[in-house]
Amino acid sequence: MNETFSSPERTEKISNALRRRQPRLAVVLENIHDPHNVSAILRSCDAVGALKVHLLYTIEEFPDVAHTPSVGAHKWLEFERHTSVSSCFAALHNDGFQILATRIDPAAKPLYEHDLTRPTAFVLGNEHRGISGEVAALADGLLFIPMMGMAESLNVSVATAVCLFEAFRQRRERGMYDTPQLSPEALRSKEIEWQLK
Amino acid sequence: MNETFSSPERTEKISNALRRRQPRLAVVLENIHDPHNVSAILRSCDAVGALKVHLLYTIEEFPDVAHTPSVGAHKWLEFERHTSVSSCFAALHNDGFQILATRIDPAAKPLYEHDLTRPTAFVLGNEHRGISGEVAALADGLLFIPMMGMAESLNVSVATAVCLFEAFRQRRERGMYDTPQLSPEALRSKEIEWQLK
């Protein structure tokens, strides 16, 4: 089957990407509205090897991830839709994730002081409203990206990338991209699934 | 004069931002086209305390930085326009900058292996074409952002932010935000200038 659908180069690329995938690194998009932001975020998720993107849409409509200009990144990610904070967080807690919500808040700790080698889900909020009060109350921790300038905020796709690439940096130092984080069974089944994409 | 134009809170905010500004950290935008990307990049520059943005536009038109949706970040940055790579790079080399151009290339070194506490200018290229051959040939070094996934590239404003925040992280560890990097004279004159903005 592989011979039919996949060149040796593609087979190897898929195998390498799967051996680096981080099933314990996830992102929750809470009502992020702009398709360009969603697209840029999906590209960053794929780049650092995140596996799953949780779409928590309680106000805005769910984004059409297959039609954002994400240069195909969405094909290599898994999506889970949620319409309530509690069901989204229950699913993540059930899988042992720490939930870190991004917010400029006196109770928040700087990004760089969080241990991001632990199973981690970052919650990013809507472009204008930020994360909801419910997310802030129910998250395991709040984080902020230190800002040295005059403006008050970053573009949300930029903020997501800064979080994800700090997780990448910490995990890379810990060797977490050198040994597969997926189980042998998951690797095998996803390899077949990805060859067919 | 300060009493007329600025509350004590604003005066202090300006003073703090200037004491953290990094005159030896700069960005060169080579023909970046999309105003949303330019806007997100300006917000990131302000956030990490970069002082100057070089606009190297040899094909696309110069962006109208005052009218991008940059939530005012452009007000706190300095812009220098260039219409040739050689004049842009001559100005940077004259000021002692290492010029690092971002490109996926066998000769490129990973971002995390560059010493970004040195005077550094990052060159980011056009959304579709990337950096020009001339920039690649004349830069002091090439860097790439390691990517673990299937997609081939990041959004350009995301790539810029990942570079800038790695410079921020390295410089912060080195204490470069704890003591002013601007001279006492520059601090004084910019404080007056910024109060009037």
Interface ipTM? 0.93
Nearest alpha carbon to residue B27 among B75, B88, B87: B88
pLDDT surpassing 80 at residue A3? no
Name the residue among A150, A153, A166 with its Cβ closest to that of B13. Answer: A150
Triad B8, B23, B186: Cα angle to 5°: 55
Which residue of chain A is at minimal alpha-carbon distance from B176? A148
Cβ distance A159 to A122 under 8 Å? no
| B147 chain-A contacts, CB cut-off 8 A | 47
How far apart are alpha carbons A129 and A127 in whole angstroms?
6
Q: pLDDT per residue over B12-40, tens digit each?
A: 999 999 999 999 999 999 999 999 999 99
Q: Which two tokens stand for residue B194?
A: 């910024």
pLDDT tens, position by position, for chain B (197 residues)?
444 567 999 999 999 999 999 999 999 999 999 999 999 999 999 999 999 999 999 999 999 998 877 678 999 999 999 999 999 999 999 999 999 999 988 899 999 999 999 999 999 999 999 999 999 999 999 999 999 999 989 999 999 999 999 999 999 999 999 999 999 999 999 999 999 98
Q: pLDDT-derived band of residue A91, with 50, 70 and 90 as boundaries?
A: very high
Q: How many CB atoms lie within 10 A of CB A113?
A: 8
Q: pLDDT tens digits for A115-133?
A: 999 999 999 999 999 999 9
Specify the pTM. 0.95
Q: Which residues of chain A have a CB within 8 Å of the CB of B166?
A: 165, 169
- Contact with chain B for residue A146, Cβ under 8 A: yes
B162: chain A residues, CB-CB within 8 Å = 161-162, 165
CA angle, corner B84, sides to B82 and B88, nearest 5? 55
Residues 158-197 of A with CB under 8 A from B: 158, 161-162, 165-166, 168-169, 172, 177
Percent over 90 (pLDDT), chain A:
90
- Yes or no, beta carbons of B151 and A71 under 8 Å apart: yes
